[in-house]
Amino acid sequence: MQSISNQVYIEEQYPGVTLGAVALSHGLVMVDAPPSPEDCRSWRAALLGLNSGVERLLINLDGHPDRTLGARAMDCTIVAHEKTAQAFRNRPNTFKAQGDETGSDWESVVGLGSIRWAPPEITFTAQMAIEWSNFPVILEHRPGPTGGACWVILPEPKIVFVGDLVVKNQPPFLSSANLPVWLESLEHLMAEHKNYTIVSGRSGVIPFGAVQAQWDQINALHEKLEALAQKQAGPDALEGLIQSLMATVKAPAEKQKQYVQRLAYGLRHYFTRHYRPSGSSELEEE
């Protein structure tokens, strides 16, 4: 566990996600959970040493399985955006470790089996403040990577947890994305939180330049997808986009196959939803 400010900690040792913890006088606010219930128990044990009150609250930055599979094992109240809660309502009650290869990190976790989802018990629409100490913890709806994505903002220590909005040295998750909205959220981050410590939901503390690099990547991808759609190209045309995107990702060799699969899955679903829709639904599965 790494302290990034007084009372604020992150943990990067578990697969998939960067976890957060804010130790306040009234209790502990946690950001996301490891995908494995066993890792959740280890994380809970590590948090016992923090100087905080007795209450526990877990914030899901979106509904992606990498950050929500272990939520039930955290054994506390869960908070998320209303659209994330809606995504849970559209899922089976139990997760089973099978199906499409999505390039997610939970797919490399051994022994997951069947896990009951833990939908959020508290939801919000635009913004929510948790006032458990001398500074508020603010939850703010910032869609883009998913319809229900949110940030956790700590105004006093100037820290913002942005989930999958910005990732470094790996490709983004695209299957539930809205690229124009994603660009708007990135622009808001650059305009309003320039002097903040930015915590990526998968890459830990990132430099401010990584936000601009993410904007450049998403913008270029959006332009290419729009061009393919105007040409009425089919899904087969997405293969070239995968190679060009992978060329911009400084990923280790052992991750190349996983990341290609992530892009193939994400681009196929994004292209179908936005350019070949079969129905009109705004519900987005994470």
The answer to whether residue 285 sits within a structural domain is: no
Average pLDDT over residues 280-285: 45
**Is 80 in contact with 118 (CB distance < 8 Å)?**
no
Comparison of pLDDT for 231 and 147, the residue scoring more = 147
Comparison of pLDDT for 221 and 250, the residue scoring more = 221
Whether 156 has a pLDDT exceeding 80, the answer reads yes
When the pLDDT of each residue in the chain is averaged and rounded to a whole number, the result is 91
Whether 283 has a pLDDT exceeding 50, the answer reads no
The answer to whether residue 283 sits within a structural domain is: no
The pLDDT, as a whole number, for residue 98 is 65
Q: pLDDT tens across 193-220, in order?
A: 999 999 999 999 999 999 999 999 999 9
Average pLDDT over residues 223-239: 87
The answer to whether residue 77 sits within a structural domain is: yes
Q: What tokens were used for 151?
A: 């940030």
> What residue type is assigned to position 184 of the chain?
E
Residue 236 DSSP class: G
The answer to whether residue 95 sits within a structural domain is: yes
Residue 201 DSSP class: T
Q: pLDDT tens across 60-103, in order?
A: 999 999 999 999 999 999 999 999 999 999 888 888 766 668 99
| Contacting residues for 200 by C-beta, under 8 A, at least 6 apart | 18, 162, 163, 164, 165, 166, 167, 168, 206, 210
The pLDDT, as a whole number, for residue 199 is 98
The answer to whether residue 286 sits within a structural domain is: no
Q: pLDDT tens across 99-137, in order?
A: 668 999 998 888 787 888 999 999 999 999 999 988 899
The answer to whether residue 281 sits within a structural domain is: no
The answer to whether residue 280 sits within a structural domain is: no
Average pLDDT over residues 181-204: 97
Comparison of pLDDT for 214 and 284, the residue scoring more = 214
Average pLDDT over residues 130-151: 95
The answer to whether residue 218 sits within a structural domain is: yes
| Contacting residues for 251 by C-beta, under 8 A, at least 6 apart | 169, 170, 171, 259
Comparison of pLDDT for 235 and 223, the residue scoring more = 223
The pLDDT, as a whole number, for residue 280 is 42
Residues composing the chain: 286
**Structural domains in the chain (count):** 1
d(CA 89, CA 120): 10
**CATH number of residue 270's parent domain:** 3.60.15.10
3-class secondary-structure state, position 254: helix
Task: State the residue range of the domain holding 185.
Answer: 2-275
The pLDDT, as a whole number, for residue 39 is 92
Whether 286 has a pLDDT exceeding 60, the answer reads no
The pLDDT, as a whole number, for residue 162 is 98
The pLDDT, as a whole number, for residue 37 is 87
